[in-house]
Amino acid sequence: MPHIAVIGAGITGVTTAYALLERGYSVTVIDRQRYAGMETSFANGGQLSASNAEVWNHWSTLLKGMKWMLRRDAPLLMNPRPTWHKYAWLAEFVSNIANYRDNTVETTRLAIAARKHLLAIAERENIDFDHVQRGILHFYWDRPSFQHALKVNSMLVEGGLDRRPVTAQEVKSIEPTLHGDFHGGFYTPSDSTGDIHKFTFGLAKACERRGARFVFDATVNRIARDGVFCIGYTSGGASSEPGDQIVEADGIVVCAGSASRHFAAMLGDRVNVYPVKGYSITVHLDDERSRNAAPWVSLLDDRAKIVTSRLGEGRFRVAGTAEFNGMNRDIRDDRVRPLVDWTRMLFPGVDTNRVVPWAGLRPMMPNMMPRVGKGRQPGVFYNTGHGHLGWTLSAATAQMVAETISGEFRTDAAIAA
Protein backbone atom coordinates (compact mmCIF):
# COMPACT_ATOMS: atom_id res chain seq x y z
CA MET A 1 0.00 0.00 0.00
CA PRO A 2 1.19 3.59 -0.60
CA HIS A 3 2.90 5.56 2.15
CA ILE A 4 1.08 8.77 3.10
CA ALA A 5 2.61 11.63 5.10
CA VAL A 6 0.21 13.71 7.20
CA ILE A 7 1.47 17.17 8.15
CA GLY A 8 -0.10 18.13 11.48
CA ALA A 9 -0.95 16.10 14.60
CA GLY A 10 -3.98 18.05 15.76
CA ILE A 11 -7.49 16.64 15.71
CA THR A 12 -7.77 16.71 11.89
CA GLY A 13 -4.33 15.21 11.31
CA VAL A 14 -4.77 12.36 13.78
CA THR A 15 -8.30 11.48 12.63
CA THR A 16 -7.00 11.52 9.03
CA ALA A 17 -4.13 9.21 9.97
CA TYR A 18 -6.59 6.84 11.65
CA ALA A 19 -8.91 6.78 8.62
CA LEU A 20 -5.95 5.97 6.35
CA LEU A 21 -4.70 3.22 8.65
CA GLU A 22 -8.15 1.64 8.58
CA ARG A 23 -7.83 1.44 4.81
CA GLY A 24 -4.42 -0.23 5.01
CA TYR A 25 -2.11 2.67 4.20
CA SER A 26 1.32 3.18 5.69
CA VAL A 27 1.19 6.50 7.54
CA THR A 28 3.73 8.96 8.96
CA VAL A 29 2.48 12.00 10.89
CA ILE A 30 4.79 15.02 11.19
CA ASP A 31 4.28 17.80 13.74
CA ARG A 32 6.41 20.60 15.14
CA GLN A 33 5.24 20.00 18.72
CA ARG A 34 6.48 17.23 21.01
CA TYR A 35 3.07 15.60 21.42
CA ALA A 36 -0.20 15.30 19.51
CA GLY A 37 -2.89 17.93 20.02
CA MET A 38 -0.69 20.66 21.47
CA GLU A 39 -1.90 23.69 19.48
CA THR A 40 -5.50 24.52 18.53
CA SER A 41 -6.52 21.03 19.67
CA PHE A 42 -5.32 21.65 23.22
CA ALA A 43 -7.98 23.55 25.17
CA ASN A 44 -10.92 24.57 23.02
CA GLY A 45 -14.52 24.98 24.16
CA GLY A 46 -15.05 21.23 24.13
CA GLN A 47 -18.39 21.22 22.29
CA LEU A 48 -19.26 18.54 19.73
CA SER A 49 -21.90 20.88 18.44
CA ALA A 50 -23.97 20.37 15.33
CA SER A 51 -26.14 23.06 16.92
CA ASN A 52 -23.33 25.58 16.34
CA ALA A 53 -23.12 24.89 12.61
CA GLU A 54 -24.31 28.33 11.49
CA VAL A 55 -21.58 29.85 9.34
CA TRP A 56 -20.49 33.41 10.12
CA ASN A 57 -21.00 34.80 6.60
CA HIS A 58 -23.83 37.17 7.47
CA TRP A 59 -24.19 40.96 7.35
CA SER A 60 -24.91 40.99 11.10
CA THR A 61 -21.40 39.61 11.75
CA LEU A 62 -19.83 42.54 9.87
CA LEU A 63 -22.01 45.10 11.65
CA LYS A 64 -21.14 43.68 15.06
CA GLY A 65 -17.45 43.60 14.15
CA MET A 66 -17.49 47.29 13.22
CA LYS A 67 -19.47 48.21 16.33
CA TRP A 68 -17.08 46.32 18.61
CA MET A 69 -13.83 47.44 16.93
CA LEU A 70 -12.92 49.89 19.70
CA ARG A 71 -13.89 47.58 22.60
CA ARG A 72 -10.92 45.58 23.87
CA ASP A 73 -13.28 43.11 25.58
CA ALA A 74 -15.53 42.63 22.51
CA PRO A 75 -16.59 39.10 21.52
CA LEU A 76 -15.30 39.83 17.99
CA LEU A 77 -12.17 41.97 17.78
CA MET A 78 -10.19 42.99 14.73
CA ASN A 79 -6.78 44.56 14.71
CA PRO A 80 -7.35 47.41 12.18
CA ARG A 81 -3.70 47.40 11.08
CA PRO A 82 -3.87 46.60 7.35
CA THR A 83 -2.37 43.42 5.97
CA TRP A 84 -3.02 42.09 2.48
CA HIS A 85 -3.97 38.62 3.73
CA LYS A 86 -6.50 39.88 6.27
CA TYR A 87 -8.36 42.26 3.98
CA ALA A 88 -8.29 39.88 1.01
CA TRP A 89 -9.73 37.20 3.30
CA LEU A 90 -12.46 39.58 4.50
CA ALA A 91 -13.38 40.47 0.92
CA GLU A 92 -13.77 36.78 0.14
CA PHE A 93 -15.75 36.34 3.37
CA VAL A 94 -18.24 39.01 2.21
CA SER A 95 -18.54 37.40 -1.22
CA ASN A 96 -19.72 34.19 0.49
CA ILE A 97 -22.65 35.83 2.30
CA ALA A 98 -24.77 34.63 -0.62
CA ASN A 99 -23.93 31.04 0.39
CA TYR A 100 -24.87 31.53 4.05
CA ARG A 101 -27.94 29.28 4.06
CA ASP A 102 -26.57 26.45 1.91
CA ASN A 103 -23.29 26.29 3.84
CA THR A 104 -25.09 26.28 7.20
CA VAL A 105 -27.30 23.37 6.14
CA GLU A 106 -24.34 21.44 4.70
CA THR A 107 -22.25 22.01 7.84
CA THR A 108 -25.09 20.66 9.97
CA ARG A 109 -25.25 17.46 7.92
CA LEU A 110 -21.48 17.07 8.12
CA ALA A 111 -21.50 17.57 11.91
CA ILE A 112 -24.18 14.91 12.41
CA ALA A 113 -22.20 12.41 10.30
CA ALA A 114 -18.97 13.26 12.15
CA ARG A 115 -20.57 12.55 15.53
CA LYS A 116 -21.21 8.92 14.60
CA HIS A 117 -17.65 8.37 13.39
CA LEU A 118 -16.03 9.98 16.42
CA LEU A 119 -18.07 8.11 19.03
CA ALA A 120 -17.48 4.84 17.19
CA ILE A 121 -13.71 5.47 17.22
CA ALA A 122 -13.73 6.30 20.93
CA GLU A 123 -15.57 3.08 21.74
CA ARG A 124 -13.45 0.91 19.45
CA GLU A 125 -10.15 2.28 20.78
CA ASN A 126 -11.35 2.69 24.38
CA ILE A 127 -10.46 6.41 24.54
CA ASP A 128 -11.51 8.23 27.73
CA PHE A 129 -12.00 11.92 26.92
CA ASP A 130 -14.40 13.12 29.63
CA HIS A 131 -17.33 12.72 27.29
CA VAL A 132 -20.58 14.24 28.64
CA GLN A 133 -23.82 13.50 26.77
CA ARG A 134 -26.28 15.97 28.26
CA GLY A 135 -26.98 18.07 25.18
CA ILE A 136 -26.20 21.71 24.41
CA LEU A 137 -28.39 24.61 25.52
CA HIS A 138 -28.26 27.94 23.64
CA PHE A 139 -29.79 30.82 25.59
CA TYR A 140 -30.83 34.33 24.55
CA TRP A 141 -31.30 37.48 26.63
CA ASP A 142 -33.77 39.36 24.40
CA ARG A 143 -36.52 38.81 21.86
CA PRO A 144 -34.68 40.08 18.70
CA SER A 145 -31.78 37.66 19.15
CA PHE A 146 -34.21 34.81 19.85
CA GLN A 147 -36.19 35.66 16.70
CA HIS A 148 -32.99 35.54 14.62
CA ALA A 149 -32.20 32.19 16.25
CA LEU A 150 -35.57 30.85 15.11
CA LYS A 151 -34.52 31.48 11.50
CA VAL A 152 -31.17 29.79 12.09
CA ASN A 153 -32.94 26.87 13.72
CA SER A 154 -34.95 26.22 10.57
CA MET A 155 -31.68 25.70 8.67
CA LEU A 156 -30.29 23.36 11.33
CA VAL A 157 -33.50 21.33 11.30
CA GLU A 158 -33.33 21.20 7.50
CA GLY A 159 -29.85 19.73 7.92
CA GLY A 160 -31.33 16.92 10.03
CA LEU A 161 -30.77 18.19 13.57
CA ASP A 162 -33.20 17.57 16.43
CA ARG A 163 -33.23 21.02 18.06
CA ARG A 164 -36.20 22.65 19.75
CA PRO A 165 -37.03 26.06 21.24
CA VAL A 166 -37.44 26.26 25.02
CA THR A 167 -38.96 28.90 27.30
CA ALA A 168 -37.06 30.86 29.94
CA GLN A 169 -38.50 28.51 32.57
CA GLU A 170 -37.33 25.47 30.61
CA VAL A 171 -33.85 26.99 30.32
CA LYS A 172 -33.63 27.02 34.11
CA SER A 173 -35.01 23.50 34.43
CA ILE A 174 -32.56 22.09 31.87
CA GLU A 175 -29.59 23.68 33.68
CA PRO A 176 -30.57 24.73 37.25
CA THR A 177 -27.14 26.21 38.11
CA LEU A 178 -27.53 28.95 35.47
CA HIS A 179 -28.27 32.46 36.84
CA GLY A 180 -29.82 35.16 34.66
CA ASP A 181 -33.03 36.66 33.29
CA PHE A 182 -33.37 35.08 29.84
CA HIS A 183 -35.92 35.43 27.05
CA GLY A 184 -35.63 31.80 25.91
CA GLY A 185 -33.37 29.27 24.30
CA PHE A 186 -32.85 26.23 22.11
CA TYR A 187 -31.91 22.77 23.30
CA THR A 188 -30.13 20.07 21.26
CA PRO A 189 -30.19 16.78 23.22
CA SER A 190 -27.97 14.90 20.75
CA ASP A 191 -24.97 17.25 21.08
CA SER A 192 -22.26 16.54 23.62
CA THR A 193 -18.89 17.67 24.95
CA GLY A 194 -15.44 16.28 25.67
CA ASP A 195 -11.77 17.04 26.13
CA ILE A 196 -10.32 17.45 22.62
CA HIS A 197 -6.73 17.10 23.83
CA LYS A 198 -7.38 13.83 25.67
CA PHE A 199 -9.15 12.43 22.61
CA THR A 200 -6.45 13.53 20.15
CA PHE A 201 -3.63 12.24 22.35
CA GLY A 202 -5.45 8.94 22.93
CA LEU A 203 -6.19 8.49 19.23
CA ALA A 204 -2.54 9.19 18.35
CA LYS A 205 -1.57 6.32 20.67
CA ALA A 206 -4.15 4.11 18.94
CA CYS A 207 -2.64 5.06 15.57
CA GLU A 208 0.80 4.06 16.83
CA ARG A 209 -0.57 0.70 17.91
CA ARG A 210 -1.92 0.26 14.38
CA GLY A 211 1.51 0.95 12.89
CA ALA A 212 1.65 4.71 12.30
CA ARG A 213 4.93 6.54 12.77
CA PHE A 214 4.89 9.95 14.48
CA VAL A 215 7.73 12.41 13.92
CA PHE A 216 7.51 15.10 16.59
CA ASP A 217 9.62 18.22 17.23
CA ALA A 218 9.87 18.45 13.44
CA THR A 219 9.70 21.76 11.58
CA VAL A 220 9.00 21.12 7.89
CA ASN A 221 11.11 23.48 5.80
CA ARG A 222 10.97 22.04 2.29
CA ILE A 223 8.90 19.71 0.15
CA ALA A 224 10.30 18.37 -3.12
CA ARG A 225 9.23 15.67 -5.52
CA ASP A 226 11.51 13.22 -7.31
CA GLY A 227 9.28 10.27 -8.05
CA VAL A 228 8.14 10.39 -4.43
CA PHE A 229 7.62 13.37 -2.12
CA CYS A 230 10.68 14.29 -0.05
CA ILE A 231 9.62 16.22 3.05
CA GLY A 232 12.60 17.91 4.66
CA TYR A 233 12.42 18.88 8.31
CA THR A 234 14.60 20.14 11.10
CA SER A 235 14.38 18.17 14.30
CA GLY A 236 14.82 19.99 17.59
CA GLY A 237 13.94 17.11 19.89
CA ALA A 238 16.16 16.30 22.83
CA SER A 239 16.42 12.66 21.72
CA SER A 240 17.64 13.40 18.19
CA GLU A 241 20.39 15.38 16.55
CA PRO A 242 19.23 18.72 15.11
CA GLY A 243 19.55 18.91 11.36
CA ASP A 244 17.82 18.44 8.06
CA GLN A 245 16.09 15.08 7.83
CA ILE A 246 13.70 13.61 5.26
CA VAL A 247 10.45 11.66 5.17
CA GLU A 248 9.69 10.08 1.80
CA ALA A 249 6.05 9.47 0.89
CA ASP A 250 3.82 8.64 -2.06
CA GLY A 251 1.26 11.24 -0.97
CA ILE A 252 0.85 14.19 1.40
CA VAL A 253 -2.17 15.36 3.40
CA VAL A 254 -1.91 18.89 4.80
CA CYS A 255 -3.75 19.08 8.14
CA ALA A 256 -1.66 21.87 9.60
CA GLY A 257 -4.30 24.29 10.89
CA SER A 258 -3.35 27.91 10.42
CA ALA A 259 0.00 26.88 8.91
CA SER A 260 -1.80 25.11 6.05
CA ARG A 261 -1.67 28.23 3.88
CA HIS A 262 2.14 28.17 4.11
CA PHE A 263 2.41 24.48 3.17
CA ALA A 264 -0.14 24.88 0.37
CA ALA A 265 2.01 27.61 -1.17
CA MET A 266 5.01 25.26 -1.06
CA LEU A 267 2.91 22.73 -3.01
CA GLY A 268 1.59 25.22 -5.57
CA ASP A 269 -1.89 25.63 -4.10
CA ARG A 270 -3.87 28.50 -2.61
CA VAL A 271 -5.59 27.58 0.65
CA ASN A 272 -6.80 30.86 2.09
CA VAL A 273 -6.83 29.97 5.78
CA TYR A 274 -6.78 32.88 8.24
CA PRO A 275 -5.90 32.40 11.93
CA VAL A 276 -8.78 33.59 14.14
CA LYS A 277 -7.69 33.53 17.76
CA GLY A 278 -9.96 32.18 20.44
CA TYR A 279 -9.49 32.08 24.21
CA SER A 280 -10.51 29.69 26.92
CA ILE A 281 -10.20 29.33 30.66
CA THR A 282 -10.23 26.06 32.55
CA VAL A 283 -11.72 26.59 35.99
CA HIS A 284 -10.55 23.98 38.48
CA LEU A 285 -13.42 22.97 40.74
CA ASP A 286 -11.40 22.27 43.87
CA ASP A 287 -14.21 22.27 46.42
CA GLU A 288 -17.61 20.63 46.67
CA ARG A 289 -19.49 23.94 46.52
CA SER A 290 -17.87 24.81 43.17
CA ARG A 291 -18.52 21.36 41.76
CA ASN A 292 -22.19 21.62 42.68
CA ALA A 293 -22.48 25.18 41.31
CA ALA A 294 -20.95 24.43 37.89
CA PRO A 295 -23.20 23.24 35.04
CA TRP A 296 -23.16 19.79 33.48
CA VAL A 297 -25.24 20.76 30.44
CA SER A 298 -23.09 22.49 27.83
CA LEU A 299 -24.07 26.11 27.20
CA LEU A 300 -23.80 28.80 24.56
CA ASP A 301 -24.53 32.41 25.48
CA ASP A 302 -25.48 34.08 22.20
CA ARG A 303 -24.92 37.63 23.48
CA ALA A 304 -21.42 37.06 24.86
CA LYS A 305 -20.50 34.39 22.26
CA ILE A 306 -19.26 32.17 25.07
CA VAL A 307 -19.52 28.37 25.30
CA THR A 308 -18.99 26.02 28.24
CA SER A 309 -18.19 22.37 28.84
CA ARG A 310 -17.94 20.30 31.99
CA LEU A 311 -14.83 18.12 31.78
CA GLY A 312 -15.36 15.51 34.45
CA GLU A 313 -15.98 16.28 38.10
CA GLY A 314 -13.12 18.70 38.54
CA ARG A 315 -12.87 21.00 35.50
CA PHE A 316 -15.14 23.59 33.90
CA ARG A 317 -14.12 24.96 30.47
CA VAL A 318 -15.32 28.44 29.40
CA ALA A 319 -14.34 29.61 25.91
CA GLY A 320 -15.12 32.25 23.35
CA THR A 321 -14.12 35.42 21.51
CA ALA A 322 -12.78 35.78 17.98
CA GLU A 323 -9.72 37.93 17.36
CA PHE A 324 -8.39 38.82 13.91
CA ASN A 325 -4.76 39.54 14.71
CA GLY A 326 -2.64 37.37 12.42
CA MET A 327 -0.45 34.61 13.85
CA ASN A 328 -0.37 36.30 17.26
CA ARG A 329 -0.63 33.71 20.06
CA ASP A 330 -0.34 36.08 23.04
CA ILE A 331 -2.69 35.40 25.93
CA ARG A 332 -4.04 38.86 26.81
CA ASP A 333 -5.53 39.64 30.19
CA ASP A 334 -8.13 41.99 28.70
CA ARG A 335 -9.42 39.10 26.56
CA VAL A 336 -9.34 36.49 29.33
CA ARG A 337 -10.93 38.73 32.00
CA PRO A 338 -14.41 38.76 30.34
CA LEU A 339 -14.47 34.94 30.50
CA VAL A 340 -13.73 35.01 34.22
CA ASP A 341 -16.27 37.80 34.87
CA TRP A 342 -18.92 35.94 32.87
CA THR A 343 -18.33 32.82 34.96
CA ARG A 344 -18.67 34.78 38.20
CA MET A 345 -21.87 36.47 37.02
CA LEU A 346 -23.73 33.41 35.75
CA PHE A 347 -22.31 30.87 38.24
CA PRO A 348 -21.66 32.84 41.44
CA GLY A 349 -21.08 29.70 43.48
CA VAL A 350 -18.06 28.67 41.39
CA ASP A 351 -14.70 29.60 42.93
CA THR A 352 -12.44 31.14 40.27
CA ASN A 353 -9.36 31.08 42.47
CA ARG A 354 -7.60 28.59 40.15
CA VAL A 355 -8.13 29.44 36.49
CA VAL A 356 -5.83 28.39 33.62
CA PRO A 357 -6.03 30.65 30.52
CA TRP A 358 -5.23 29.53 26.97
CA ALA A 359 -5.37 30.87 23.42
CA GLY A 360 -5.42 29.05 20.09
CA LEU A 361 -5.65 29.96 16.41
CA ARG A 362 -8.73 28.65 14.61
CA PRO A 363 -7.91 27.97 10.93
CA MET A 364 -10.78 29.62 9.03
CA MET A 365 -11.59 29.61 5.34
CA PRO A 366 -13.51 32.66 4.01
CA ASN A 367 -16.61 30.55 3.28
CA MET A 368 -16.40 28.90 6.74
CA MET A 369 -16.26 25.47 5.09
CA PRO A 370 -13.31 23.09 5.54
CA ARG A 371 -10.97 22.56 2.60
CA VAL A 372 -11.14 18.83 1.95
CA GLY A 373 -9.84 17.15 -1.18
CA LYS A 374 -7.14 17.19 -3.84
CA GLY A 375 -4.48 19.75 -4.58
CA ARG A 376 -3.13 20.61 -8.03
CA GLN A 377 -0.40 18.02 -7.96
CA PRO A 378 -1.23 14.32 -7.97
CA GLY A 379 -0.70 12.92 -4.49
CA VAL A 380 -1.41 16.21 -2.67
CA PHE A 381 -4.49 16.46 -0.44
CA TYR A 382 -5.96 18.81 2.16
CA ASN A 383 -8.07 18.41 5.27
CA THR A 384 -7.92 21.78 6.96
CA GLY A 385 -9.68 25.11 7.53
CA HIS A 386 -12.39 23.86 9.92
CA GLY A 387 -12.49 27.12 11.89
CA HIS A 388 -14.38 26.86 15.17
CA LEU A 389 -15.73 23.39 14.28
CA GLY A 390 -12.59 21.26 13.96
CA TRP A 391 -13.53 19.12 16.97
CA THR A 392 -17.08 18.77 15.64
CA LEU A 393 -16.32 17.99 11.97
CA SER A 394 -12.94 16.26 11.90
CA ALA A 395 -14.08 12.65 12.11
CA ALA A 396 -16.24 13.09 8.98
CA THR A 397 -13.76 15.10 6.91
CA ALA A 398 -11.08 12.52 7.74
CA GLN A 399 -13.25 9.85 6.13
CA MET A 400 -13.88 12.12 3.14
CA VAL A 401 -10.21 12.82 2.43
CA ALA A 402 -9.26 9.17 3.00
CA GLU A 403 -11.86 8.14 0.40
CA THR A 404 -10.48 10.74 -2.02
CA ILE A 405 -6.95 9.40 -1.50
CA SER A 406 -8.12 5.83 -2.03
CA GLY A 407 -9.87 6.85 -5.23
CA GLU A 408 -6.76 8.50 -6.65
CA PHE A 409 -4.42 5.66 -5.81
CA ARG A 410 -6.87 3.04 -7.10
CA THR A 411 -7.00 4.96 -10.39
CA ASP A 412 -3.20 5.15 -10.56
CA ALA A 413 -2.94 1.43 -9.85
CA ALA A 414 -5.49 0.64 -12.56
CA ILE A 415 -3.59 2.78 -15.11
CA ALA A 416 -0.31 1.11 -14.16
CA ALA A 417 -1.89 -2.34 -14.60
d(CA 31, CA 220): 8
d(CA 132, CA 328): 32
Q: Cβ distance 306 to 316 under 8 Å?
A: no
d(CA 290, CA 340): 14
Q: At what angle do helices 390-416 and 100-125 cross, to 10 degrees?
A: 80
Cβ of 406: how many Cβ atoms within 10 Å?
17
> CA quadruple 166, 279, 41, 92: dihedral positive or negative?
positive
Where is 407: in which H helix or E strand? Answer: helix 390-416
Tell me the whole-structure pTM to 2 decimals: 0.95
pLDDT at 357 (0 to 100): 98
Segment 229-282, tens digit of pLDDT:
999 999 875 444 555 799 999 999 999 999 999 999 999 999 999 999 999 999
Pairing outcome for strands 76-78 and 315-324: parallel
What are the beta bridge partners of residue 281? 318, 357
Residue (of 312, 313, 311, 303) closest to 338 by Cα position: 303
By the 10 Å C-beta count (0-12 exposed, 13-18 middle, 19+ buried), 291 is classed as middle
Residue (of 306, 317, 333) closest to 42 by Cα position: 317
Residue ranges of the chain whose pLDDT lies below 70: 69-70, 237-243, 412-417
What are the beta bridge partners of residue 358? 280
The backbone torsions φ and ψ at residue 190, rounded to the nearest 5 degrees and listed phi first, read: -85, -15
Q: What is the DSSP letter of 189?
A: T
